[in-house]
Structures are given as structure tokens and as C-alpha cells.
Amino acid sequence: MANGVEKESVLMMFSDEELREISGVKRGGDYIEVTCGCTSHRYGDAVGRLRVFSNGDLEITCECTPGCNEDKMTPGAFEKHSGRETARKWKNNVWVIANGEKVPLSKTVLLKYYNQASKHGNGSHRSHNGRVCHRDEFVRCARCNKERRFRLRTKEECLIHHNALADKNWKCSDLPYDKITCDDEEERASRRVYRGCIRSPTCKGCTSCVCFGCDICRFSDCSCQTCIDFTRNAKT
């Protein structure tokens, strides 16, 4: 039943007509995926795969070279990674192929849900453009001592991180959405600096991505002091 709902959600995101001219379209659980790229005058084209989620999130897996392991990048981080000289304009610099031509994202339907999320972001913590924003966080495994990444884009993801942080015996195999074991390599330091801040790809923490409590990352049924204080303050 759940899979049927997910498929219906994806089908409703964009019509076949809207995507007909765009190359490399694949439909996933709650996203569509297309071929994308960014061009540097010095280094040429960096090609990747862009995932567009129904909640407005955008993620790019880079395929610039066979050995590149950069994934789950924001478009801004991908733009910088590509070596683009005029960075910080990813809507115009990151492109997809439509009718055999490179077309900026800003001129396609692919930003429809991103723009809606920017305009109507819910939750009390928002970035400068209105989107709910929690940067990625890391939790260290009690068994192998390796740090693992947690995405905090939804309330469910925030709850998973919240519970892992409170568990002194948390281990890699407890991750519900990534099949990771203690034998897997720890994420490279050069990759860990990308934590999903909308203002700056390599931000070390700012008012746009560090949340001190909101309806998404605090839980009224949790007995920890942090959530109790937030719930109590929210009622006053």
C-alpha cells in the first residue's frame, strides 16, 4: 500500500508532457532523477545526476570522473565542485539536457517544488529564503568509533538522529535508511564539510542551518529535558 502511494506521488509531481523533452529521466520512490551538469570554462563540463524530491529538496550525485565519490550535494555545492568561475548562481549555472541543448534549471519545471518550499516553508526555523533548514549532523558509532551522517530534512529523519544521539550504545547497523556496517569506510573529511547549508556549501554553522529547536526537531512525546523545555516554552 505504501509503495503504491509513493508511486502515485511521483507520478503526480510532473506530467509526462512536462518531462518529455528532458534527457535521462528516471522515477524513484518520492523523487525523479535527471541528467544534469555544470560547465567551467577552465575544466569543461562536470556531469551528474539530479534528484528532485516532492518536498522541494534537490540532491546531486557527481559523475565528473569515474573515481568521484561526491553525492547528496546541494546544487550550490555541485556548482562549486565543478570549478565554475561565477559560482553562487546555481539556478542559472546548473543545467539539464532538453531537446539536445543545455538548459539552465531556472528555465525548466524542475524547480517547481523547490520554489514552493522556499515560499511556503513550514516549521518555526527557516533559512533566509524561507525554507526549513537543518544541516546534516554526525553521530559516532560506539563499536567502531566512526562518524556517520544523518540527514535532517524531515521530522522522521530528525527523530532518527535525536534517538541515535541519546543512545550511548548506538552503532552503524542501527541506521534504518542506509545499510552500513562497521566495516564500511568513514566518510572522507573533504566530504564531511558539505552539510547542506543553503547559504554556503561548506558552512561551519550559521543562523541559516543551525536550529536551536522547532516543531520538526523537537518532540512533545519525548521525555528528554531538551524536548520537555521546548514543549513547555512553546505553550507559553
Minimum mean pLDDT range among 41-50, 62-71, 207-216: 207-216
Whole-angstrom distance, CA of residue 35 vs CA of residue 177: 24
On the CB side of 190, how many CA atoms lie within 13 Å of its CA?
5
Instruction: With cut-offs at 50, 70 and 90, classify the pLDDT of residue 121.
Output: very low
- % of the chain surpassing 90 pLDDT: 32
Determine phi and psi for 104, rounding to 5 degrees: -60, 145
Whole-angstrom distance, CA of residue 135 vs CA of residue 202: 11
Using the 8-state DSSP alphabet, how is residue 184 labeled? Answer: S
Average pLDDT for residues 205-224, to the nearest whole number?
82
Average pLDDT for residues 96-102, to the nearest whole number?
93
Per-residue cell: 140: 559516532
Closest CA to 136 of 210, 226, 219, 231: 210
What mean pLDDT value characterizes the chain? 81
What is the value of pTM for the model shown?
Answer: 0.50
Instruction: With cut-offs at 50, 70 and 90, classify the pLDDT of residue 38.
Output: very high
Please report, for the chain, the start and end positions of each structural domain, with discontinuous segments joined by +: 16-121, 137-234
Class of domain 16-121: alpha beta
Which range in 15-19, 45-49, 231-235 is most confidently predicted, on average pLDDT? 45-49
CA 169, 171, 173: angle at the middle one, nearest 5?
140
pLDDT, position 116: 63
Terminal C-alpha separation, the chain: 40
pLDDT above 70: residue 131: no
